Amino acid sequence: MPSDPLEADPMRFCLLASGSKGNCLWIEEGGVAIIIDNGLSLSELKSRVKKRNLDFKSLAAVFLTHEHSDHMSGVGVLCRAYGLTLHTSPLTLNAAYDGIGKVDFSPIVSGETVKIGPLVVSAFSSSHDSVDSQVYVIRGSNSSLGMATDLGVVTHLVRQNFLSLTALVLEFNHDLKMLLKGPYPLFLKQRVRSRRGHLSNADASVFLSQVNHSGLKLVVLSHLSETNNDPLLALSAAKEAISKGPGKPKIQAANQWEPTPVFEI
Ligand SMILES: [Zn+2]
Ligand SMILES: [Zn+2]
């Protein structure tokens, strides 16, 4: 690793999948990569990694936000296939153990930090209907990325730690009108809207306007519902949120079926 941070490689990241059918975020710097969440089968993950010219040889660790299957179902297989350590809350591993199986495990709890090569990963508790949901902030040599999906509400803790980052992966789950008029049964509508459910476009926009700053370069809208959202609505809500500045980040939406481009920050 270069000793002068100005000579360091940029951080790069790619949402290999995003949504209720599977999530996977790849982050790398200086030839060291991590994955946060994997709801893809190993063969699908391999094909998406290849499609974006990423290299499994650089993969050094796996993190898991929470035990829901769209984030967890491919984690155990991935860790065993490449001999990787899983970093997550002990409560989450316990809740997900039937789905993950035996893996090399290193606990990370809210407020703690783990260093993987040049990447420093910090975990913070978040509000969601799982045992110990976490969001992550990843700092590299010259840039930083915050990843917050599956949030019922934005807590003070999450907001404070997302204030001055270079890029954000933020949940824009649903359009409230589409959810209310849509086909979900009442109990599911209530679950999604609850303080331990998912962020609406309007909620996420408020969060974005609170953490927007002049150094914010990129926001990737994630975990969009295919039933209760329209990417155009999410994009327009996010653009409206940043219109008053001070930052003018690029805005992109991730989806379920195609990996995003590999972003450099
Ligand atoms: Zn999810
Ligand atoms: Zn979830």
227 close to 177: Cβ distance less than 8 angstroms = no
Q: How far is the CA of 170 from the centre of ligand 2 (A)?
A: 14
Look up the CATH superfamily of 5-259. Ribonuclease Z/Hydroxyacylglutathione hydrolase-like (3.60.15.10)
Cβ < 5 A residues, ion ligand 1: 70, 150
The helix-helix angle for 201-211 and 231-242 (nearest 10°) equals: 30
The helix-helix angle for 42-51 and 75-82 (nearest 10°) equals: 70
166 close to 192: Cβ distance less than 8 angstroms = no
Residue 143 half-sphere exposure, CB side, CA atoms within 13 Å? 22
198 close to 154: Cβ distance less than 8 angstroms = no
Q: How far is the CA of 133 from the centre of ligand 1 (A)?
A: 11
**Closest ligand to the CA of 196:** 2
**Closest ligand to the CA of 129:** 2
pLDDT digit string (tens) for the chain, length 265 residues: 555 666 789 999 999 999 999 999 999 999 999 999 999 999 999 999 999 999 999 999 999 999 999 999 999 999 999 999 999 999 999 999 999 999 999 999 999 999 999 999 999 999 989 999 999 999 999 999 999 999 999 999 999 999 999 999 999 999 999 999 999 999 999 999 988 999 999 999 999 999 999 999 999 999 999 999 999 999 999 999 999 889 999 999 999 999 999 999 9
Domain range summary for the chain, segments of one domain joined by +? 5-259
SS (H, E, C) 46-88: HHHHHHCCCCHHHEEEEECCCCCHHHHCCHHHHHHHHCCEEEE
